[in-house]
Amino acid sequence: MSDVVIIDVSPRDGLQNEPVLVSTENKIKLVELLVESGITKIEATSFVHPKKVPQMADASDVLDGVKHLPTLDAIALVPNTKGFERARLHNLSEVNWVSSATETFNEKNIGMTIDESISQFSSFVGQAKKDGIKTCFSIAVSFGCPYEGDVSEEQVLSVLRRAIEAGADRISIADTIGIATPDHVERLMKKVLQEAGDIPVAIHLHDTRGLGSANAYAAYGVGVKIFEVAASGIGGCPFAPGAAGNLATEDLVYLFERMNIRTGIDFEKLLDAADFAASLSSKNPLGRIRHVERKQKQ
């Protein structure tokens, strides 16, 4: 029994920007360790063009390698209809479609206008439903854009309404460059939840400025129950200059469990997964709690 849903995105968002290729075996091991900790929803890979994101070139092999995990609800990111056609050949619970709140970031990230992106999403939603695959529509740079600066709430809500009209099963609101503050999160997420109605809403937080946990709690306070995070805080978007890693899964789980907000996750096993995730990263992971807990046990 849990009060919130934790989606770990470290195998995809956490590793996509790594300059040295991580082996398929290690990606599979990371997923296995996360599942052992009790996390069932994991964004395992993305079906992007290998020339754009070489780290994800083994998407099919990763998904084939985690088929043996009975409790895993595997999620794959898809940036276009070609990506969806490749993804639907695998045992997936959900595909995550990423669009943006600004035109410039949309063009830099997926090479399309927002109109083109929504049109492509609309074109395969029906097929996804027939395949038994849920669709998540993620809105990047919802709190600020590295190219256009401030992003108005109406920009986000406009894209949100069109995603809902297109038939999205879930919505994710992303702080891609980690610029949000708790008051901003409260204001925007209240409106997003009102617009979404019965459609589940997640928040995807980067911890660039150290406010990830505060922003997550602000989102929880207004009713958000789904959180996209990454073990040890690894990651960052290759198309967002200055973006640092994600909010660390273990940091958020620690916060929630200390506040008696149930996550259903074994914290000690999660620390093992976070240690392994950190070992795969060439950067200094942003997760904080892992270091404190390990020192106390020495």
Residue owning tokens 């993305």: 46
Find the DSSP H helices in 37-152.
59-65, 81-87, 103-110, 114-131
C-alpha to C-alpha distance for 130 and 116, rounded to whole angstroms: 23
Cα dihedral 43, 99, 137, 80, rounded to 10, equals -70
Residue holding tokens 């069932």?
40
Q: Which one of the listed residues 15, 31, 118, 237 is annotated catalytic?
A: 237
**Alpha helices, H only, 56-113:** 59-65, 81-87, 103-110
Task: Find residue 75's DSSP bridge partners.
Answer: 43, 94
12/24 Cα distance (integer angstroms): 12
3-state secondary structure of 67: coil
Q: Confirm whether 145 is a catalytic residue.
A: no
Mind telling me the catalytic residues? Answer: 237
